[in-house]
């Protein structure tokens, strides 16, 4: 059970990556059964995208926490801006791709994002953070 915010963020990072691996395996299997090879690729890309983006949020906050307030602000919102730009470019590239299956990609992203939210909420609720750190 994490007792500092830094410990909580590092545990969250590990659990998010584990969840993405689970979605990749389960989604890849389901996708392969329903859509064949494109379904497998879609689930893998969807899980990877959600994992990278979840990890970027956690990293931007934990790196930003070591900076003064202005740096923290820039790190978190700058990280968010870069993330959305990357995501929009990736979506644009994947829209014309023939090696993925659209619905499978969508459901893999949604499953990873919602699973990530469940993991994050569980971690925050179970953490015993002191009112005052340092």
Partner 1 sequence: MDAVNIAELSGNIAVVGYGLAAIGPGIGVGLVVSKTIESIARQPELAGRLQVTMWLGIAFTEALALIGLATPFIFA
Compute the distance between CA of residue 49 and CA of residue 26 in angstroms, rounded to an integer.
16
Is residue 77 a contact partner of residue 57, using CB atoms and an 8 Å limit? no
Among 18, 34, 121, 126, the residue binding partner 1 under the rule CB under 8 A is 121
Task: Look at residues 102, 99, 131, 108 and name the one whose alpha carbon lies nearest to residue 43.
Answer: 108
CA distances in angstroms from 107 to 13, 32, 52, 95, 102, listed in the order given = 22, 14, 17, 15, 9
- Cβ nearer to partner 1, comparing 2 with 22: 2
Q: Which residues contact 41 (CB under 8 A, 6 or more apart)?
A: 31, 99, 100
Among 93, 106, 126, 128, the residue binding partner 1 under the rule CB under 8 A is 106
Contact set for partner 1, span 43-72 (CB under 8 A)? 50, 53-54, 57-58, 61, 65, 69, 72
32 binds partner 1 (CB under 8 A): no
The least CB distance from residue 120 to partner 1, in Å, is: 5
Give first-to-last CA distance, the chain, whole Å: 18
Judged by the rule CB under 8 A, the positions of this chain that interact with partner 1 are 4-6, 8-9, 12, 50, 53-54, 57-58, 61, 65, 69, 72-73, 76-77, 80, 83-84, 87-88, 91, 94-95, 102-103, 105-106, 109-110, 113-114, 116-117, 120-121, 124, 127, 129-134
């Amino acid at each position: 059970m994490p007792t500092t915010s830094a410990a909580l963020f590092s545990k969250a990072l590990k659990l998010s990556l584990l969840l993405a691996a689970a979605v990749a395996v389960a989604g890849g299997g389901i996708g392969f059964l329903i859509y064949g090879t494109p379904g497998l690729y879609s689930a893998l890309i969807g899980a990877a995208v959600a994992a990278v983006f979840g990890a970027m949020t956690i990293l931007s906050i934990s790196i930003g926490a070591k900076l003064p307030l202005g740096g923290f602000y820039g790190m978190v919102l700058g990280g968010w801006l870069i993330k959305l730009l990357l995501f929009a470019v990736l979506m644009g590239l994947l829209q014309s791709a023939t090696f993925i299956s659209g619905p499978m990609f969508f459901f893999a992203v949604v499953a990873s994002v919602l699973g990530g939210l469940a993991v994050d909420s569980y971690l925050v609720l179970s953490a015993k953070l002191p009112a005052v750190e340092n």
